[in-house]
Each structure stands twice: as C-alpha cells, then as structure tokens.
Structure 1
C-alpha cells in the first residue's frame, strides 16, 4: 500500500508600490558630455563617477535609466533635465 501526501504551501509575494518609475535619459547630438555630467550631478544628485557612467551608457547604448523612485519625486527632476536641454522621459 502506498500513501499519497499532499502539501499545501503558502507563498508571500511583496510588491513595491510606487517605486517602479524611472527617468530614462536619451542620447542626442547636441549636448556635451560635460553638460550631461554636470546636469546629472546637479539634478539627480549623482556623484561624478555615476554621472560619467550614465553619460557613457547614453552615448553608446542610446539611453540609460538615471533615477528611479516615486512619480512625485521624479517629475520635478525630469522637468529640470528637460529644462537643461536633455532628452528625458518618465516610464
């Protein structure tokens, strides 16, 4: 005689609500590396190395996520990037 055992398992799934928005910076042929780096430092509070890496990714890959967070925090930062002449969007 064989015994069949059934096991029921509970799985907890946590969802990060409101933190999955991103500012994506797009490449352009207008702005210099120095301008992009300085703007990322000023607007997104990047350190110099992080800003430089983002600028390189944008240049070679065409785009880069430069900031994540709640939409109400990202909107003014994205606007500041746009005001500085950069091409950015919130997704």
Structure 2
C-alpha cells in the first residue's frame, strides 16, 4: 500500500470520527419567546443575547441550529429540549 493511500485512509477515518452534529430547533405556535430563550440559556448554555437571536431566527426562518458538537454531547440536550415541549432534532 502506498504511503499516500494510507494517509488518505487515516484522514477519512478521522473525519468520520470527528463528525459534528447540530441541534436544530423548529418553530411552533405554542411556546413563548421568553420560555424558548430561557430554555436555550439553561439547556444549551447560551448567553441571553445568543438565545434571543436564535429565538428570533426560529420565529422568522422556521428553524435554527442552536448547538453543535459530538452526538453523545448533544443527545441529552436535545432530549431535555424535547421534554420541555420544544421541537428539536439532531442532524
């Protein structure tokens, strides 16, 4: 096996292992702005400004990526958002 091919295989494996996921929050007609903002601060560790900006984007665009990271890091956060009655998914 050539060195170049071996290096490429190593790079491919590392890219797969470090794949980043994101929690996408979707708009709904149930939750208030304040509730969503406070939820993002609590669950996703957003600053108040960041949570407000995400909430506005969700409202006007229909969805917003609110947290990025490894799947195992995001799973409990997404589950918590769902348990609060928010509409979220990991993509």
Which TM-score tier does this pair reach, normalised by the shorter chain?
Answer: 0.7 to 0.9
1:63–1:80 CA distance, 2 compared to 1 (3 A):
same
Q: CA RMSD in A?
A: 1.6
Unpaired runs of at least 5, structure 1: 1-11
Q: Secondary structure at the match of 1:64?
A: strand
> Gapped runs of 5+ residues in structure 2?
1-7
Structure with higher Rg: it is: 1
The TM-score normalised by the length of structure 2 is 0.81
Greater helix fraction, Structure 1 or Structure 2: 2
1:78 is paired with a residue whose SS is: helix
CA contact (8 A) 1:54 1:64 kept: yes
Aligned length, in residue pairs: 80
TM-score of the aligned structures, taking structure 1 as reference length = 0.81
